[in-house]
Structure 1
């Protein structure tokens, strides 16, 4: 839920656009049911911005996961002591068969 401070609308931006773009945007605003042109623009831009951020964050997360996976698989070719002990235990148990 948004906090009171995030509901304050004290920031402004200015954009310049062609009249044909504005006509398309205004038609879309009327079709969307948004009460004002500003609310339509803010809603649409915010939705797209959140989509871009989410996509970027998932790419970054998947890159980190990929790095961790390849490091785990190919990073250290030397087995640690637990793996050596497990291999020796397996060999001793299977040698009796």
Structure 2
């Protein structure tokens, strides 16, 4: 028994006639309805956007600097030492 998605939500968008023609043509080429094509394209774009904002991209130089700081961290600042002590008093070591 195939899994069928229950569609209960609706979105609307205004689109220029030339843009709609392109979307219709692309949907036809894939053998899909315009609605299915637009929903699929929007989901793919949304996933890409979420993925891209979840990644941190560093140059080679920044990567080396990051690893160096992990391997040889600088001494704690006085404020961080106080915060660490306060945390230990409240929650234990």
Fold conserved (TM > 0.5)? Answer: yes
Uncovered stretches (5+) of structure 2, i.e. residues with no partner: 77-93
Q: CA shift at 1:51, angstroms?
A: 0.9
Aligned length: 68
Distance in 2, Cα, partners of 1:40 & 1:33:
9
Task: Report deviation, 1:33.
Answer: 2.3
TM-score (ref. length: structure 2): 0.57
- The offset of 1:8, in angstroms, is 2.9
**Cα-to-partner distance string for 1:24-78 (whole Å, 9 max, x where unaligned):** 10001011222x111000001101110111111112xx57xx6x7465334328x
What is the TM-score with the length of structure 1 in the denominator? 0.55
Aligned residue runs from structure 1 range 1-97, under 5 A:
7-34=5-32, 36-59=33-56, 69=67, 71-72=69-70, 73-76=72-75
Unaligned segments of structure 1, at least 5 residues: 78-97
Point out 4+ residue stretches in structure 1 off by more than 4 angstroms: 68-71
Alignment CA distance shift 1:70-1:9 (3 Å): farther
